[in-house]
Amino acid sequence: MEFSAREIADLLQGVCEGDPDIRVSQLAKIEEATKGTMTFLANPAYTNHIYSTEASIVLVKDDFQPEKPIQGTLIRVKDPYGALARLLELYKKSNPEKTGLSKLAFISPRAQIAENTYIGEFAYVGDGVVLGKNVRVYPHTYIGDNVHIGDDTTLYSGVRIYENSRLGARCTIHSNAVIGADGFGFAPQTDNNYKKVAQIGNVIIEDNVEIGAGTTIDRATLGSTIIRSGVKLDNLIQIGHNVVIGENTVMAAQCGVAGSSKIGKNCMIGGQVGISGHLTIGNDVKIAAQTGVSSSIEDGQIIMGSPAMEASQYKKSFVYFRNFEKLVKRIDELEQVIKKLKSY
């Protein structure tokens, strides 16, 4: 589909500067854009590309002041990145959606399937499953007994949802995520063996949650592992049994959260962060990548390092970490001097 600069500006409530009738049919990165495409400038680090890009239309911030001539048409908006996100969402919705129930899928006669649901080839839908309206279940997905899934939720190929899990509306679960596998519960025995502790809880995922590919969320031992509304989990994350993650918290790839820890709302957690079990992480906490968290954190803190410490303290300490070898050498030299002085 083609759109004119005027149409896009009206849609985004922006201001068109240049040829309002120029048309585009694709989106592209600013350094790779060609004629007939639209791009955006949100990060100042890419400003130099706006003077050489061949894009027909460029989204820019409303206060952007060019230092050289620009060949494309500008659309000035308050938030270029947010405007692009809106366009990408509209573009995605314009693609035809999968519909219907494949004859090659297994759907239990005791499952309840709402209208306009898609279930692809070789998917499995167990007894007592309830699927809301507009649910999308892609091929090779497993949905265990008594799972409830809300309206407009999408499960991509290879997702595994264990029995009794609850998923809200407008969630997206990417390929090979596993929801509701047993928590890591083993009781040590006197003969150095371990006895498995039955995990009889479930997983509750509230509305507007996105879970990345390969991420695993364990069922609770008792009660529920809970992912609150608006949470965004990246790929390859491990969430242990009985963990609770608060509203609108985001977590980057390869993080691990051990059992029974509670994470507050609006937290931002970088990649490869490890959080020990039975901790409480407050609201609005920011945790830098590769941080090792072994104690609870109060609201609003910014932490980094392993073991974790307040970010400004870590940065000061890092000056000494970096020069540790030199400091040790100086101490050794001073000890030798003191030893000689004592010998007199």
> Which 3 state secondary structure label does DSSP give 329?
helix
pLDDT for res 307: 86
Residue at 270: amino acid letter:
G
Which CATH code is given to the segment(s) 100-313? Answer: 2.160.10.10
Q: Is 23 helix (H, G, I), strand (E, B) or coil?
A: strand
For 3-94, CATH number out of 3.30.43.10, 3.40.1390.10, 3.40.50.150, 3.40.50.10780 equals 3.40.1390.10
Segment 285-314 mean pLDDT: 93
Burial of 307 (0-12, 13-18, 19+ CB in 10 A): exposed
Residue 309 has what pLDDT?
Answer: 83
**What pLDDT shows up at residue 327?**
82
Asked if residue 18 has pLDDT above 90, the reply is yes
| Per-residue confidence band for 2, with pLDDT thresholds at 50, 70 and 90 | confident
Each residue's pLDDT tens digit, 28-78: 999 999 999 999 999 999 999 999 999 999 999 999 999 999 999 999 999
Residue 225 above 80 pLDDT?
yes
Question: Side chain identity at 155, as an amino acid letter?
Answer: L
Is pLDDT at 245 greater than 80 in this prediction?
yes
The active-site residue, picked from 140, 148, 174, 241, is 241
What backbone torsions phi and psi does residue 337 show, to the nearest 5 degrees?
A: -65, -45
Task: Check: CB of residue 289 under 8 Å from CB of residue 302.
Answer: no
Q: How many residues does the chain have?
A: 344
Confidence bin at 325 (pLDDT 50/70/90): confident
pLDDT at residue 337 in the model? 84
Q: What is the pLDDT of residue 318?
A: 76
Which residue is associated with the tokens 């595994």? 160
What is the structure's pLDDT at 340? 82
Token pair, residue 295, equals 């104690």
Task: Give me the pLDDT at residue 228, please.
Answer: 98
What is the share, in percent, of the chain residues with pLDDT greater than 70?
100
Q: Tell me, what's the pLDDT at 147?
A: 98
How confident is the model at residue 90, as a pLDDT? 81
**pLDDT score recorded for residue 321:** 75
Please give the Cα distance from 142 to 342 (Å, whole number): 77
| Helices marked H in the chain | 5-12, 80-94, 311-322, 324-343
- Confidence bin at 226 (pLDDT 50/70/90): very high
Q: What is the pLDDT of residue 312?
A: 82
Amino acid residing at 25: S
Tens of pLDDT, residues 92-139: 777 778 889 999 999 999 999 999 999 999 999 999 999 999 999 999
Which amino acid is located at 316 in the chain? Answer: K
Average pLDDT, stretch 187-203? 93
Cis peptide before 307 (omega within 30 of 0): yes
DSSP string, 71-113: SSEEEEES-HHHHHHHHHHHHHHHSPPP-EE-TTSEE-TT-EE
Cβ 127 vs Cβ 143: under 8 Å: no
Active site residue 241: yes
Answer for the pair 73, 19: CB distance below 8 angstroms, yes or no.
yes
pLDDT number for residue 275:
98
Q: Quick check: 215 pLDDT over 90?
A: yes
- Report d(CA 212, CA 268) in Å as an integer: 16
Report the half-sphere exposure of 239 (CA within 13 A, side-chain side): 35
User: Which amino acid, residue 78?
Assistant: K
Residue 79 has pLDDT above 90, yes or no: yes
pLDDT band for 13, please (50, 70, 90 cuts). very high
Q: How is the chain split into domains, by residue range?
A: 3-94, 100-313, 315-343
The structure's pTM equals 0.85
Widest CA span of the chain, in angstroms?
96
The answer, yes or no, to whether residue 316 has pLDDT greater than 90, is: no
pLDDT in tens, 129-173: 999 999 999 999 999 999 999 999 999 999 999 999 999 999 999
